[in-house]
């Protein structure tokens, strides 16, 4: 895999006095942990995302996958072909309609990404390790106060 992939976050180079820059740095560390976990399974970030989505939403249609992954239908088609070749997803026609195919993660696909949530929880524990339990609670309270005033993040 290419470690210079343009969508990878770049490592922060120097400390900063900006609180939001520090929050971004924490987000960078969390994303890096997730990408490393996905890469260790020989998946791209996009493949890992789609496979996880299909585990949680079996039978999704390709158009829905394109919308939720914020990409084009042709890119999703190519991505799914790669996952199919590896036996990680399968497309099935519904009710004899060849134009309408639903996409499912196979047991091998589900197994491959099982444990992602636990890996991310471990990454969170590593990132927050310098904080005491009380400091973690304070950080959570402060971040909750800030995010209460922001719109909810969406994938659409």
- Please list the pLDDT of the chain residue by residue as tens digits (156 residues): 444 444 455 555 566 789 999 999 999 999 999 999 999 999 999 999 999 999 999 999 999 999 998 888 889 999 999 999 999 999 998 777 777 789 999 999 999 999 999 999 999 999 999 999 999 999 999 999 999 999 988 765
- pTM here is 0.74
CA–CA distance, 15 with 22 (Å, rounded to integer) = 8
SS3 content of the chain, % helix, strand, coil (to 5): 55, 10, 35
Residue 13 maps to a domain: no
How many domains does one find in the chain?
Answer: 1
The pLDDT assigned to 16 comes to 72
Region of residue 98 (left: phi > 0; alpha: psi -120 to 50; beta: else): alpha
Per-residue pLDDT at 155: 65
Six token digits for residue 57: 């939403």
Question: Which tokens sit at 130?
Answer: 């310098």
In a domain, 2, yes or no: no
Q: Is residue 110 part of a domain?
A: yes
For residue 66, the enclosing domain spans 19-147
14 inside domain: no
* pLDDT number for residue 10: 56
- DSSP letter at 14 equals S
CATH of the domain at 56: 1.10.10.10
119 within some domain = yes
């Amino acid at each position: 895999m290419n470690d210079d992939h343009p969508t990878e976050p770049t490592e922060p180079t120097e400390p900063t006095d900006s609180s939001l820059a520090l929050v971004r740095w924490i987000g960078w560390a969390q994303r890096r942990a997730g990408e490393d976990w996905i890469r260790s399974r020989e998946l791209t970030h996009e493949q890992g995302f789609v496979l996880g989505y299909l585990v949680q939403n079996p039978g999704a249609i390709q158009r829905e996958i394109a919308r939720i992954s914020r990409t084009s239908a042709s890119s999703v088609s190519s991505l799914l072909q790669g996952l199919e070749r590896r036996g990680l997803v399968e497309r099935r026609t519904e009710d004899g309609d060849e134009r309408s195919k639903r996409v499912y993660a196979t047991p091998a696909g589900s197994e491959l990404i099982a444990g992602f949530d636990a890996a991310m929880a471990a990454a969170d524990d590593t990132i927050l390790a310098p904080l005491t339990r009380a400091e973690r609670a304070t950080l959570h309270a402060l971040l909750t106060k800030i995010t209460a005033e922001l719109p909810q993040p969406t994938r659409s």
